[in-house]
Amino acid sequence: MFQTDLLKDKVILVTGGGTGLGKSMATRFSELGAKIIICSRKMDVLQKTAEEINQKTGNEVFPFQLDVRKPDEIEKMIELLDQKYGKIDVLLNNAAGNFISPTERLSYKAFDTVVDIVLRGTYYFSLAMGKYWIAKKTPGNILSIVTTYASTGSGYVVPSAISKAGVLNLTRSLAAEWGKYGIRLNAIAPGPFPTKGAWERLFPDPKFAEKLINRIPLKRTGEHIELANLATYLISDASAYITGDVITIDGGEWLAGAGEFNFLDVVKPEEWDFIEKTMKR
Ligand code: HXC
Ligand code: NAP
């Protein structure tokens, strides 16, 4: 759906780009001509992914080891990338930590761990990149991967929910404040997209995954390429007038859960005949 050189020579930084959705988005951007930097804690994973993407697309993928909870490591990386490429065009905030648990079972440290990765990590990265672009007087583009429960809230993933809500608010707030510098910020709220990282921590019991499909109107989980194409649009110049927004890609899942009468899906046609007749009478 895109011209093959849509992202030619764009320098794109993907946090958590060694696995899952980050890897899929990095691969798509690389196919479309971008120079990619993937960063996270596990260098062996990053190196393997970088080689795999490079072999597939022929374009440069640079792995960098860091922890998004450490602003000094983020600043060091930005300095190095500026020396190497002379610019950074896009930041994709994708790294996250999450697991299901009744909230009352969480230790303070468990709560902090998720908030530190998801919320603190995202604002450290966004602040460092904003300062960089503002000082250089160049435009910038930040895309953050949130979730549908960033807006609705959700039990059993409370540290993640409050953090993603914070990231969404950060997106809206900074879009208003930094538009004058030519910096855009948007977010994507995905529903369920199977990845090893998410499935091991959120759907450890196959029963959970079965329940999940049933409540999605389109009766399937998302394909990585569908998310990657949406992300491509939002980081490309094709979406130059969109800022401060969030786009949901979830097969209708959250609306189906929210609508008062959506539970009537279970009523069969013959039951409707009876209901209609009785009601009219
Ligand atoms: C209760 C837990 C726990 C669990 C860890 N902890 N897992 N508590 N239930 N399942 C507690 C630990 O006991 C410890 O607290 C504290 O959390 C820190 O744990 P560490 O293992 O030391 O943390 P760390 O090594 O920093 O690892 C962070 C992590 C881990 C978040 C716990 O899972 C991780 O590295 N995740 C990264 C990848 C990931 O989560 N991907 C999924 C994203 S999916 P105490 O007090 O005992 O010391 C996603 C999708 C959302 O966000 C929407 C889907 C539809
Ligand atoms: P994933 O493969 O587990 O990805 C998470 C990535 O974050 C990993 O590559 C991990 O790499 C990195 N990371 C974690 N802690 C880090 C830290 N402290 N510093 C640097 N990097 C760190 O899971 P995923 O499903 O692809 O999730 C990707 C994004 O999509 C997340 O933001 C998630 O919330 C969001 N999302 C996913 C779904 C879904 O259904 N999959 C739905 C909605 C939203 P290291 O371990 O090497 O650090």
Q: What CATH number should be reported for the domain holding residue 52?
A: 3.40.50.720
Beta strands per DSSP E along 27-139: 35-40, 61-65, 90-93
- The predicted-structure confidence for 78-102, as pLDDT tens digits, reads as follows 999 999 999 999 999 999 999 999 9
Which residue of 42, 47, 195 sits with most ligand 2 atoms within 8 Å of its CB, as the best mutation to test the pocket? 195
Q: How high is the pLDDT of residue 60?
A: 97
pLDDT digits (tens, 9 = 90+) for 135-177: 999 999 999 999 999 999 999 999 999 999 999 999 999 999 9
Higher pLDDT pick, 211 / 151: 151
Report which protein residue has its CA nearest ligand 1's atom 48: 109
Q: Is residue 254 part of a domain?
A: yes
Cβ–ligand 2 distance for 216 under 6 Å, the answer: no
pLDDT exceeds cutoff 90 at 197? yes
222 belongs to a structural domain:
yes
- pLDDT value at residue 175: 99
Nearest to 91 by CA among 235, 236, 225: 235
d(CA 262, CA 97): 32
Ligand nearest to the CA of 18: 2
Provide the pLDDT confidence category of residue 211 given band limits of 50, 70 and 90: confident
Mean pLDDT taken over the chain: 97
71 within some domain: yes
> The pTM is what?
0.98
Q: Of these residues, 123, 124, 132, 149, which one is catalytic?
A: 149
pLDDT at 218: 97
Three-state SS for 95?
coil
How many structural domains compose the chain? 1
- For residues 26 and 17, the answer to whether their CB atoms sit within 8 Å is yes
* Average pLDDT value for residue range 231-253: 98
pLDDT at 206 over 90: no
Best of 24, 98, 145 for a ligand 1 pocket test (most atoms within 8 Å of beta carbon): 98
Neighbour order of strands in the sheet with 246-249: 61-65, 35-40, 11-15, 90-93, 140-145, 183-190, 246-249
- The closest residue, in CA terms, to atom 2 on ligand 2 is 20
- Distance separating alpha carbons of residues 62 and 228, to the nearest angstrom: 19
Does 3 map to a domain? no
Owning domain of residue 153: 11-280
In a domain, 6, yes or no: no
241 in catalytic set: no
Average pLDDT of the segment spanning 45-60: 98
> What's the 274 CA to ligand 2 centre distance in angstroms?
49
37 three-state secondary structure? strand
By three-state DSSP, how is residue 278 classified? helix
Containing H/E element for 72? helix 71-85
Residue 199 has pLDDT above 90, yes or no: yes
CA 20 to ligand 1 center in whole angstroms: 16
**β-bridge mates for residue 14, sequence order:** 38, 92
What is d(CA 23, CA 27) in angstroms, rounded to the nearest whole number?
A: 6
- Residue 207 pLDDT: 87
In a domain? residue 5? no
- The finding on whether 41 has its CB within 6 A of some atom of ligand 2 is yes
In a domain? residue 58:
yes
Atom from ligand 1 closest to the CA of residue 118: 52
Task: Give the distance (Å) from ligand 2 centre to CA of residue 94.
Answer: 6
| Closest ligand by atom to 254 CA | 1
Confidence of residue 208 (pLDDT cuts 50, 70, 90): confident
Residue 204 lies in a domain: yes
pLDDT given for residue 120 in this prediction = 98
Q: What is the mean pLDDT of residues 216-237?
A: 97
Instruction: Give residue 1's pLDDT.
Output: 86
- The one-letter amino acid code at 53 reads I
pLDDT(217) > 90: yes
**pLDDT at residue 138, rounded to an integer:** 98
Q: What is the pLDDT of residues 247-260, one digit of tens each?
A: 999 999 999 999 99
